[in-house]
Structures are given as structure tokens and as C-alpha cells.
Structure 1
Amino acid sequence: MKKIKIILIGILSMGLISCEITDTNVDPDNPSADVVNAGAIYPGMITQTHRNIVALNGRIAGIVMQQFDGLDAQQIAYGQYNIGESDIDNSWGFGLYGAGSMTDCFVITQNNTGEVSALAKLYMAANLGMTTSTWGDIPYSDAFLGDEGNVTPSYDSQSSIYADIQTLLTESINEGVASGVGEFFGAGGSADWEGTAHALKARYYLHLTSVDPTAAQNALSEAQMAFTSTADQPDFVYSLPAQNANPLYLFDNDRPSTMGFGATLNTMMTSDPRLALYTTDGETFASDDLFWGKATSPTPLISYWEVKFIEAEAIVRTSGADLDALTALQEAVRSNMLYVGVSTTDADLYVNTLTLTGTSEDKIETIITEKYKSLYGNGPLEAWADYRRTGYPDLTPNPDAVPSFNPSGVIPRRFLYPITERTTNSANYDAAISSQGGHLLDDDMWVFPSN
């Protein structure tokens, strides 16, 4: 398995990427557009992007989607859909905007060209996808102009953000994201970056199945140009010391017994050979014995199994070629099982029982349910996106749901904007809420209308 392994000291000293490396003392957490040391900015940009997938927003999405259960403190509140505007403020201000990953992406793309800019555009697209699918309309076109005096950015419509994602990924491919970038990551090797760009294009086209009749065909075309094995997927492997560890591991280490493995998922996986690699007792989710619960557990930007699940669903939605869809589904599940440590024999026994029968909707339910199990520990935000888009897997909302921010009690459809937007960017915040028709957890967003 090829790995993206960020070793900060090694990268900063070697400067292995072909970009402008200055000898000026630049704080990588507060980069200036005047003096850009891309070699210093890249590690933080990449590290924070992968952390965003499974840290605060991903953890809450995992609880909402019943991949995890809240056992104590705030985690119980999240499971009851009591998710307020203060709960996700840090992920907005420090994970994405402010000193976060999207600001780093912007600085690099504005001050570099070619392969250096290309990879930053790819990461910007991935971060935009995470952000818009979580909140809806978001600041983008003038979001990173604080140095020019614009500290109250307007919100771009969600439909325009999805178009921007595709433009960024196309530009990334055209600017040579496939070449030269691997050296930046040192001895750990590199992913198939052009294949990753196509994979991300497939993901974000598939998000549009409820609003764009061409979405499934577009997603299928891109999935068939993506990378072709787990060896080429863009894995980020966390490293020691502990503060650099996988966010799920760190959370359990810092706040033990406040979150557990989801009872719903545990029941769903009774006969699944991955269960013993996901949890030891139906509650523990983080330990050195569990694949996604180690300090060094990887987080792919997008996985090979997700690509194959996208392909399977897109085939059902387009040609309806059952055998081709089943082959893609089986490869998706098999690749995930082998990746996490299931034996080839046990993986084959499981995947050979998979079938796609009934209506197209029945087949999509089968695909999304299997995808839900495979996204555990590595793609909670995408599992939530799938649920809002398709209604699958068939989950029962928490009967103890708190109505404060979610009067209908449904599994949340979005997050609230963070409190800092209401207090420091109120005019644009109000305009965004008005254009979207509300600001509660059960309000739909454009890309995921109610089923």
C-alpha cells in the first residue's frame, strides 16, 4: 500500500517539491500572499484536510449516522441531534477557513502554477465538497481576501460551489497533478493523483443525482478513469508522537468512554468478517487491535472502495447492467475487506453471497448499505451524504431527539452555521439563510432535497 506520509521536519528541510521555497521566516499557520513558502504550507494543508474527514465534523456525522453511539457528555447530545451553532465553530474557523486547510490551498494556488498549484486545487475541491455538503451555501469566491480588507465574505450558492469543484479538478488534471508531486511525500511514496482527481469528480457528480439527470452518467465516466486499486488511493497515515495521531484514536484517548461503536452498525454486521476488526466488544472503537482505531490508522482522501461503489450505483442508474453493477459492488466490498485485514477466503465467502435483485431502488439500497459498512472509520461525511441523497441505509431516527434545532426529529439534513458567522458576518449569514429557506437541522439543502 502506497502511503502519503507527512514527516514535517524532513519535508521542511528538504523542500522536495518544485515550488518557490523562500528563506524568509514564514509562519505556515498564517501564510502571507506576499511571501509564499509552498514547501512549508503544504504539510499543514494536507494534514488538516485529512483530519477534517474524521475529526469533529466527521465524528458528529458518524454519530448522526449511527456508526458511533454517544455514551456520555456532548456525544449524547449529538446523538439526540442537539447540535448547535457553537458545536462546530472550531471546524469552520480553524479546520477549513481562517488558519485552516482551504486558506492554505488558496495561498498556494494564487502564488504558484503547474503541479504545485494542481495538487492544491485538488485539495481545495475536496475541502469545498466537505464544506458545502455539510452547510449548503458557503463563502468561497471572496472568502480568502482578508489581507485585502474583506473580512465579511459573501456566500456562494451550493449549485455554484459544485460547479467550482468540477472546474478545480479539471484544472488540476490539466495542470499536471500526476507529475512530480510524489517526491514531495518522501520515501512513503505517492498516490495516483490524476486518478484521484477523477475519483473526486465522480463523488461530487454522484452527489447531484437528485438534482441533475446527467449526474449518474457523469459519475460513471469519471469513476472509470479513477485509480484502480487501494495501492494507488490517497492515504494519509498519521504518525507518532501522539498529538499527530489519528483523530478518532486521539478522541478516545482524551475522552474515553464518551463515544462507542454504533449499536445499529454492530447489529447490521453480525455476519460480517470485518466486525472483529471494527470493535472488540460491540462498544470499543479505538485500540491497537482495531483497524480504524489505531494511532496510525490511515485516512484516505477518497478510497478505491468508494470509487467502486460509485461505479456500481451509477451503472444501476444508467444502463441497468446488473452483472456489471454486481461485479463493481463485489470488488468494492472485497477491496475494503482485504485492506482492513480480512483473509481472502473470508472476503470471497462474503462477497459471493451478494446479489442485486428487485427494482432499481432495491439495488441502490443494497449498494448504499454495503457502502455504509465500508465507509466506517474512513468516510463518515460521505455516509451522511449518501443517506440524505438516497434515504439509505434504512435508519430509525433517535426517539429521544431534542427538538431545539430539529423540530421534526429526523436524522439531521445539515449543520447550523457557526456562531462566529452570525456574530461577525451577519448580513451575509442572514442572506444565505434566507436564500436557502431556513436554518435548522431538518431544513433541506439544494443538493439533498427530501426523498
Structure 2
Amino acid sequence: MKRALLLLSIFGFIAVGCDGGLLVENQNPNATTDPSLSGLLSSSILTTSSDVVPGAAGTTSYYVQHLASPSGSSLDQHFESRFGGTWSSIYDVLADTDALVEKAETENSPHYAGIARVIQAYNVGIATDLWGDIPYEEALQGQEGEITPAYDEQQALYSRIRSLLDAAIQDLNAESSKFNPGSDDFVHGGDLEKWKRTAWALKARYLNHLTKKSSYDPQAVLNAVDNAMQGNEDDAQMNYENDPAENPWHNVFQDQEGGILGGHLSEQLVKEMDGTLHGVFDPRLQVAITDSANIEGEGENPPKYAGNRNGEGAGQFYNHLEGDKFYATQNAPILWITYAEVKFIEAEAAFRADNPSRAYDAYMEGIRANMDKVGVPESQRDAYMNDPAVDVGQGNLTLDLIFKEKNVAMFLNPEAWVDHRRHNYDYPDFEPPVDQNPDLNTEHIRRALYPLSEIERNRSNVPEVSLDGFLWWDQS
């Protein structure tokens, strides 16, 4: 197999470095050089769920002010942002899925190839939405030992994502496959229909990212939505019930309890959900995310919450992720893309297509789906959805309302940073952090810098970028 990105160490090779990036191969004499379809599939899903998604969200959640640093860290203040560990994990997955496609085609098993292409498209999407241009074609197809692959432009990568998803759907529709996934598929348990819906959902997501481009086609987005998830049961996610590891956000909670502070809520998120900014208390704050700090005494109704001002550090009172709530329980799922997200994509695309009835129905269904997902009791769900601040009627629906509700549904998901940039951070009272990196000149952060290891090893190809530089899809 020819590739510059090498298989994970458990399969015989490893790409190493303290900050991620590509390096020469190191062969483990005790590991197989011919990994199985099942091993490659399980590995790519586990790395995506345990490393890529939480690794990216562990930083982007500060940029969208879902979380805030308890110490007013440089991360929270938008100083150098490179995502080195996430870069390394993504390329591990790209190597695994590339090998999986090759092996599946050799063994006449298109159903495995289809899932591999969906996973690869998902990881390429996360990577390009963080860094813009990234090595891809030469990185996966280069000669053995190649460690200086050229960078593909983001526009070409978006075309490649669509091609991968189209090929995946074709593979998943194949009438026969010598081998078929089952328990090795930690996302859908071998359910090919759900993988096809996931592929269509991702098509809708990446088509909808192009709202600032003249090529944006809301009808194409809606066509993809029609083939995507039909309910929460279709959500693409990895559960941790049968895994010895714990949900990564539960580990953050455990560290917090042990005195290593983290997972603090942002003051901005609290204001968006406790009624301060929108005049209605969002029960997801209490049910799915955190406990009340009771900062104004006992018996508050609704209870009082407190978040950290981004960049400032923790005050006397604050809320943080709780280990018995939806997002941070020991066995909580890591969400890749969900039915609720698809409904908000539909709401936005229908709104832009001047179809207010469809937009409003999708907006309300997105709220309902997310509240059901995270366990909001029916009475609290209905009270929130019937509140005039939420149930505004189709004639009063705005993009601001769609983005506001989608933001809550995308809590701890790196996709939330894409939405904040597409919406130009136009959320009520949303301000840059205290003591923000002066290089940004009080502007909002727009992209990540490249990992130092990549600069050291592939300097001639690494683009020169700045944190206030706009990605391709972020420009008109």
C-alpha cells in the first residue's frame, strides 16, 4: 500500500510527534501488517469519537463561548491555536479509512468501503473547517516515505467531500458484499440504511456551509435533507456502554471533581439559556448540562446559574459540566451528526429558499428533537416550545432564531464554530474574551493555525495564515 500517512500503531505503524503531523514510519514488530476490515473500522470510529470530535470541541467550545477557562488561559484568550493533537488524530483516521477502502475493494466488500468513505468525509470536513487548506491527495496517495505532501485548497476539499459521500452511498446500496459490518460498527451497528442517512446528512451539512458563496443552492440542501435522518434513532453517534473507556467529557468532570479545573460554563451560554437574553428559561441548562449554583439563595425558581466571563477566569460562583447530566455521564454518546442538526439545517435552507412554512416546522421540530434527545421532561419541553419567545409563528421566524436554537443543540460539537463564523458571531451580547490576543484587534477568531510539527516537517508547503484570516467558505 502506498501512502504518506501510515497506519495506527496498533496495526503496525505510527505517525508520531509531540504536536501531531506527519513523520517517518516506525514499525512495531509485534503488530500485524495486514489489519482486518473489522479492526480498521473499529479503530477509525473509536479515534474519531474519542480523539477527533472532543479534541476539536475542547478548543472550539471556548471560541463559541459554550465553555470558559477557569484560569483565563491563553486558549480562552485566542492566542496560538493549533490543534496539534486533533491534527494527528484526524490523519490517523484518514490512514485507517484509506486502508479500509483499499482492503474492502480487494475483498469485494463494498459495504465496508461505503462506511469508510463516510468516516473519511467526516474527518476531512472537520479538518478543513479548522485549518482550511490541508494535505489530502498527496498525503494519502504519495510514495512510501513521503512526508512533505502538497496542500489541497479548501474549495477542492469540499468537492472531494461530496464525491466521497456520493461514492459511499453507491457502495452502501450494493446488492452484495462478501463481508458486512456488525458489532465492529460502534456507530450504527452495521445498519446500512442509517449509514446512508448519515451520508446524506453530511451532504446537507457541507452544502449548507456555503451560504456566503454565490454557488449556494438551498434546494440542493433540502434534497439532501429529504434523504437524511428521520428521527433521533438515526443519530450518528458513538456510545460508551460497552467500552472500557469513558466519555471524554466525563473525564473532564472527574478532573474538575479532583481539583483539575475544567468544563466551566461560559457566562455567554448561561445568559443565552437562563432567560437573561431571550426572556425564557431553557430547561436543557438544568436537565442536560449542569446543576444550579444557587448563587442567590435556596429555592430559586428558576434556579440561578453563573458562568465564567471568557478570558477572565472563574469568579466566586460558577457552573460546570456535571457527571450525571446528558453530555458528561460516564456512558454519554459522542455525537457526530444528529436528526436535530438536520432539522435546523432544513430550517435555514428553507428560510433562505423563501419557504416559511417548511422552515418553521423544521425549526420547531429541531427544538423538540434535541430536547427529547437530552431528556427534557415533556411538560418542560412543551412549556418552553409554547413560550411566545420560542413559538413566534412562521411570519416572525428569523435566521437569528434558527441559529440561536441550533447553537444550544450543538453544545460541545465543533460544528458550532462553523455556525458562529457563518453567522458572523451575530448572537446577542457576544463579545470577544477579556484580554484577547491583540493580534486579532478585537475581531473574532476565524481559523486555526497549523501545528508546529507540520511547519517543522513540511514548511515549504504550509500556507501562511493568521487567526483572523477567513476560510474560503467564510468569504462572499
Q: TM-score, normalised by structure 2?
A: 0.79
Matching of residues 195-214 of structure 1 within 5 Å: 195-214=197-216
Match of 1:441 among 444, 452, 467: 467
8 Å CA contact 2:186, 2:239 repeated in 1: no
TM-fit CA distance, 1:315: 0.2
Q: Does 1:253 align with 2:286?
A: no
Give the match for residue 455 of structure 2: 422
Give the match for residue 5 of structure 1: none
SS at match of 2:460: helix
Per-residue CA deviation, residues 274-298 of structure 1 (Å, 9 max, x unaligned), is: 1112111344443332110112110
SS at match of 1:115: helix
TM-fit CA distance, 1:53: 5.1
Question: How many residue pairs are counted as aligned between the two chains?
Answer: 404
For 1:34 and 1:349, locate their aligned partners in 2 and report how far apart those are by CA, in whole Å. 57
SS at match of 2:74: helix
> Sequence identity of aligned pairs in percent?
28
Relative to 1, partners in 2 of residues 1:359 and 1:53: Cα closer, same or farther, differing over 3 Å? farther
TM-fit CA distance, 1:83: 2.7
TM-fit CA distance, 1:357: 6.8
8 Å CA contact 1:28, 1:44 repeated in 2: no
For 1:258 and 1:187, locate their aligned partners in 2 and report how far apart those are by CA, in whole Å. 28
Matching of residues 327-406 of structure 1 within 5 Å: 327-353=361-387, 354-355=390-391, 363-377=398-412, 379=413, 381-391=414-424, 392-394=426-428, 395-403=430-438, 406=439
**Equivalent position amino acid for 1:246 in 2:** N
Match of 1:305 among 326, 340, 346: 340
For 1:188 and 1:198, locate their aligned partners in 2 and report how far apart those are by CA, in whole Å. 15
Q: Does 1:273 align with 2:283?
A: yes
Structure 1 unpaired stretches of 5+: 1-25, 434-438
Give the match for residue 216 of structure 1: 218
For 1:186 and 1:426, locate their aligned partners in 2 and report how far apart those are by CA, in whole Å. 37
Q: TM-score, normalised by structure 1?
A: 0.83
For 1:50 and 1:424, locate their aligned partners in 2 and report how far apart those are by CA, in whole Å. 27
Q: Per residue, is there more helix in 1 or in 2?
A: 1
TM-fit CA distance, 1:198: 0.3
**Equivalent position amino acid for 1:218 in 2:** A
TM-fit CA distance, 1:239: 4.2
Q: Does 1:76 align with 2:102?
A: no
Give the match for residue 174 of structure 1: 170
For 2:12 and 2:399, locate their aligned partners in 1 and report how far apart those are by CA, in whole Å. 43
TM-fit CA distance, 1:188: 7.9
8 Å CA contact 1:356, 1:363 repeated in 2: no
For 2:130 and 2:187, locate their aligned partners in 1 and report how far apart those are by CA, in whole Å. 35
Relative to 1, partners in 2 of residues 1:266 and 1:138: Cα closer, same or farther, differing over 3 Å? same
SS at match of 2:126: helix
For 2:167 and 2:392, locate their aligned partners in 1 and report how far apart those are by CA, in whole Å. 37
TM-fit CA distance, 1:205: 0.5
- What RMSD over aligned residues (CA atoms) do the two structures have, in Å? 2.6
Relative to 1, partners in 2 of residues 1:370 and 1:424: Cα closer, same or farther, differing over 3 Å? same
For 2:80 and 2:283, locate their aligned partners in 1 and report how far apart those are by CA, in whole Å. 34
Relative to 1, partners in 2 of residues 1:71 and 1:240: Cα closer, same or farther, differing over 3 Å? farther
Q: Does 1:292 align with 2:364?
A: no
8 Å CA contact 1:227, 1:233 repeated in 2: yes
Give the match for residue 57 of structure 1: 56
Matching of residues 128-139 of structure 1 within 5 Å: 128-139=124-135
